[in-house]
Chains A and B, each alone.
Chain A
Amino acid sequence: MEYVSPEGLRLDGRRPMEMRQLRAELGAVSRADGSAVFEMGNTKVIAAVYGPREVQNRSQQINDKALIRCEYTMANFSTGDRLRRPKGDRRSTEISLVIRQTMEACIMTHLMPRSQIDIFVQVLQADGGTRSACINAATLALADAGIPMCDLVTSCSAGYLNSTPLLDLNYVEDSAGGPDVTVGILPKLDKVTLLQMDAKLPMDIFENVMQLATEGCKAVANYIREVLLENTKQLENRRGV
């Protein structure tokens, strides 16, 4: 199947280096300390952060750091077929662990000892790149909750089909069987916190694909920064003097 037409257009009309449209909204869950809805094209994800609050399970309390817990779920209606997914299935557990480790790298946990931060991420619509969208949504929600972080974490995926590196794969391109590289970076510090790939790639092509994904991450970071700044200004203006 042709994933990149001879004119250089993909199945949804994008260019190979083009990302899907981003949209972010803060404060979707009013009960949570911080929450965000993040959309990358048709993939829509909601994240809610509770904390820092008292550790619920005393035995897990860490004396000098905050405990970070993360849970990733997909809503029943998120995929094409309404699937009844068991909550602890392997993919969800793996992605929960991945998101937790990624966020733990950037949250300044030593500032909040003996407390707990819960991150709940749920996929409302899945169209490829759910992992990346979840990490971006979690970053927004953490910033909304006022939890100190050393840098924003942004993530984007890229693949390699029809001998072209493609940025931000959607579901059809993802299920084509080609490699899918997910990268998570700290844009200001220019460090990589997440790197996953699920196929084989020769080294030089891998470098290209990873470079493409990193640039996608930086674009997401600019957008997130704008959204957060706008939100901060709005809150400060409303509050008045």
Chain B
Amino acid sequence: MRGMELSLNHTQKLRLQRALESLESFSSATNSNASVTVADSIPVNQEDGVLKGHGTTDLDGEVVATVCGVIERVNKLVYVRTLRARYKPEVGDIIVGRVLEVAPKRWRLEINFSQDAVLMLSSMNLPDGIQRRRTAVDELNMRSIFEENDVVCAEVRDFMRDGSLQLQARSQKYGKLEKGQMLTISPYLVKRRKQHFHHLEQYGIDLILGCNGFIWVGEHVEIKDDMIEDEPTPTKPDAKSNKSQISQSLEEQEQTYTPLETRENICRIANAIRVLSTLGFSITLDVILEIVDLSTKKGLDIHEMLGAEFCVLVAEKEAERRSSSTQKKR
């Protein structure tokens, strides 16, 4: 299995195999017919004019797949949905990215796409919150907002002419992400939902499931409302950038200290996501919370969550969950 560098003993192997086989039996028979590989011809009713979508091409009048994946049909559109490919962006997706470069009036972010995404300075809120034209001074102080290797949350605004993405981070919930971990998983495991920002109260954790497969797990940060301005904002951005270079004073360190319990919770949730992605199960909030509960119930240490036994337990739990959901459907 991909990425699984675990040594399972004999019973664990059998249990894992049995759990995976039961999973396969639950997926409906229609699914297996829809899988194709490269250069497989797609059965299509020739009388209706079919629209050939992504992952297909026309070969002598028949529709042929160009990637390995699953055929999806929406009215007259036929396309092949890939599984392990890179992220396929759509306007309005919430993504998490890492800053690669600070360029004139923009930041370049790495987002698991075929090109780097661009976040323009004008698509970003200024630290003082005032809506104004960006001056040269703002451009020189870009580094005080984001630097190289910072993790940023943003939304896809549109595509540029050369095919790369343009992002925007105008709301308070977007922006630099601190005090947490970023995980990389395959994008096909994250489904597009209405909500990608999750606040887990019982752990005090923010969870952002980026559509590009980058997931952020971090300490909860209160979102300041744009309208309410009761704290004096720093008027000189230069002073702020100087401060970050000098070591923080003791009070500031106390303020930014993350308690041990929150850090443990962050690691627990991150490990749960890692196990789920190694096994190839899709990642949603309920599944993650179930797995975290499973690990606390069994009294496992955080590092044991990445071990062989827990991996087998997760597979069995998922098989149970799917069997109960298919039974509910019937």
Contact = CB atoms under 8 A, between A and B. Distances in A.
B68 A232 contact: yes
Contacts of A229: 35-37, 68
A237 B64 CA distance: 23
Interface string B158-195: 00001110000000000000000000000011000000
Interface centre among A54, A148, A239 (most CB of B within 10 A): A239
Contact of B37 (A33, A113, A225): A225
B35 A113 contact: no
A216 interface: no
B69 to A, nearest CB: 6
A228 B40 CA distance: 11
A232 B36 CA distance: 8
A53 interface: yes
A17 interface: no
Given A33-B86, A228-B38, A235-B83, A52 B67 contact: no
A150 B84 contact: no
Contacts of B37: 143, 152, 225, 228-229, 232
Contact of A146 (B2, B39, B83, B162): B83
B59 to A, nearest CB: 8
Interface residues of A, number: 43
A146 B67 contact: yes
A112 B114 contact: yes
B31 interface: yes
A231 B23 CA distance: 15
Contacts of B318: 240
B81 to A, nearest CB: 9
A213 B114 CA distance: 36
B307 interface: no
Chain B at the A interface: SS class: loop
B115 A187 contact: no
B98 to A, nearest CB: 13
Contacts of A113: 162-163
Contacts of B36: 229, 232
A151 B31 contact: no
A152 B38 contact: yes
Given A150-B66, A238-B20, A238-B23, A233 B35 contact: yes
A145 interface: yes
Nearest to B278: A30
B162 A148 contact: no
Contacts of A114: 114-115, 162-164
Interface string A193-231: 000000000000000000000000000000001001101
A28 B168 CA distance: 37
A151 B57 CA distance: 11
A217 to B, nearest CB: 14
B162 A239 contact: no
B85 interface: yes
A238 B311 CA distance: 14
A239 B24 CA distance: 10
Contacts of A237: 23-24, 27, 31-32
A114 B164 CA distance: 9
B279 A238 contact: yes
A143 B38 contact: yes
B38 A53 contact: no
B102 to A, nearest CB: 16
B64 A240 contact: no
A210 to B, nearest CB: 22
Interface in A32-84: 33-34, 51-54, 63, 66
Interface in A129-160: 143-152
A238 B38 contact: no
Contacts of A115: 114-115
Contact of A232 (B1, B70, B163, B279): B70
B12 interface: no
Interface string B193-219: 000000000000000000000000000
Interface string A106-119: 00100011110000
Given A53-B114, A189-B39, A237-B24, 17 more contacts: A33-B85, A54-B114, A54-B116, A113-B162, A144-B84, A145-B85, A146-B83, A148-B55, A148-B67, A150-B57, A188-B64, A229-B35, A229-B36, A231-B68, A238-B23, A239-B280, A241-B27
19 contacts: A27-B1, A30-B2, A33-B84, A33-B86, A52-B114, A53-B86, A63-B162, A114-B114, A114-B164, A143-B68, A146-B68, A146-B69, A151-B38, A229-B36, A232-B36, A233-B32, A235-B83, A235-B280, A237-B27
Q: Sorted from nearest, which 6 A-B pairs have the closest CB atoms?
A: A146-B85, A52-B114, A27-B2, A30-B3, A238-B280, A146-B82
